[in-house]
Amino acid sequence: MASSDYTPNTEVFTIGGVLSSREYQQIFEETVEHINQKSSIHGVTFNSTSIVMNANPIRSALSICEDLIPNRVYVVVASHPFESEQSPISVSYTCGFYNIPVIGISSRESVYSDNNVHKSFIRTVPPYFHQAEVWIKLLQSFKWTQVMFIHSKDEDGQAILGYFQTLAKAEGIAVSFSFSF
């Protein structure tokens, strides 16, 4: 924040980021600066602070505690790390402990739908299991009444299978065989 932007009555809100690369940190910082330049909200200024997500969830949690929390962030924007399939679950747990909302910009895993565990996690993309609704509509449009279902063995695969079976049964579509890999 430039000193010329600050007045004694200015409220400052810091937005944290746990992002996948230094490039996205730069984009994040520029976006927050752009918001301040274009904002019509007088007396409010936004700051940004961010870290690159570590593929190791324990290191990510430590970095959040050491580098974001001391900056008094009001919300944290989280993405996935590039070098692994690890989700930002450590971000959600750590920020949840401090009652800091997390906005997941790429997290589709069904685990984040459990509001008892992830009480302040908001996502910008739907969970994977919502694809089942689209598949049912496709099957209906082709007037197909029987399918084989292939899914992953993980929690998301099980969730999408269960949801699909529920929807299929209600629409008279039979799942003749399911296979997990």
- Look at 41 and 85; give whichever has higher pLDDT: 41
Q: How confident is the model at residue 130 (pLDDT cuts 50, 70, 90)?
A: confident
Q: pTM for the whole thing?
A: 0.72
Percent of residues, the chain, with pLDDT higher than 70: 92
pLDDT at 4: 47
The residue ranges of every structural domain in the chain are 3-125, 129-180
Question: What pLDDT is attached to residue 5?
Answer: 54
Determine the Cα–Cα distance for residues 78 and 63; give it in Å rounded to an integer. Answer: 13
Closest CA to 51 of 84, 31, 73: 73
Who wins on pLDDT, 20 or 125? Answer: 20
Q: Using an 8 Å Cβ cutoff, are 165 and 130 in contact?
A: no
Going by CATH, does the domain composed of 129-180 fall within 3.40.50.2300?
yes
Q: Are 3-125 and 129-180 in the same CATH fold?
A: yes
Has domain 3-125 been given CATH number 3.40.640.10?
Answer: no
